[in-house]
Amino acid sequence: MLKEGDVVYAIVADIRKTMATADVVAKEGTERQVGGETYATIHVSKISPGYTEDVSKELRKGDFIRARVIGIKPSLQLTTKEEHLGVIRSLCSRCKGEFVKKGENKLYCEECKYSMPRKLADDYGDVQI
Ligand SMILES: [Zn+2]
């Protein structure tokens, strides 16, 4: 079971007006599957250290993220505010190619030649999954 303070890996499931939802797939440091509740929410105020009002400028559906558990009741609540937290892998929505990191919090598709903002973990593109 997960508890507050745990670092987890999750896949962004949906983007809403004031939050993102995600499915927790693993807990850092263990190979066992996560037991219990895996549905989690990330409130817009808990995504990045700066002021965010548009969730879709920070996270997108299908993004693979590293996050910290900050609440477990009534459902899992996560944050990606820390430097080491955020998106660790993302695919281009047009061509499904792998986005590369370009700049502080930007992803770039070399195939489609376009970039998108994201809240990236400091080791984006360098994570063994
Ligand atoms: Zn692309």
Q: Which domain CATH number covers 50?
A: 2.40.50.140
Residue 121 counted as domain residue: no
The count of structural domains within the chain is: 1
Q: Is 83 exposed, middle or buried (0-12, 13-18, 19+ CB in 10 A)?
A: exposed
- Give me the domain span that covers residue 47: 7-89
Residue 54 counted as domain residue: yes
- pTM of the predicted protein model: 0.93
Give Cβ neighbours of residue 31 (< 8 Å, ≥ 6 apart).
Answer: none
Dist. CA 112 → ligand 1 center (Å): 4
Query: Residue 43 above 70 pLDDT?
Result: yes
Instruction: For the chain, give the percent of residues with pLDDT over 70.
Output: 99
Dist. CA 38 → ligand 1 center (Å): 30
Dist. CA 41 → ligand 1 center (Å): 27
Residue 94 counted as domain residue: no
State the Cα–Cα distance between residues 43 and 15, nearest whole angstrom: 10
**Average pLDDT for 95-119:** 95
Residue 13 counted as domain residue: yes
- pLDDT tens sequence across 4-14: 999 999 999 99
- pLDDT tens sequence across 70-94: 999 989 999 999 999 999 999 998 9
Dist. CA 126 → ligand 1 center (Å): 19
Q: Is 56 exposed, middle or buried (0-12, 13-18, 19+ CB in 10 A)?
A: middle
Residue 50 counted as domain residue: yes
Dist. CA 70 → ligand 1 center (Å): 34
The Cβ of residue 12 has, within 10 Å, a number of other Cβ atoms equal to 23
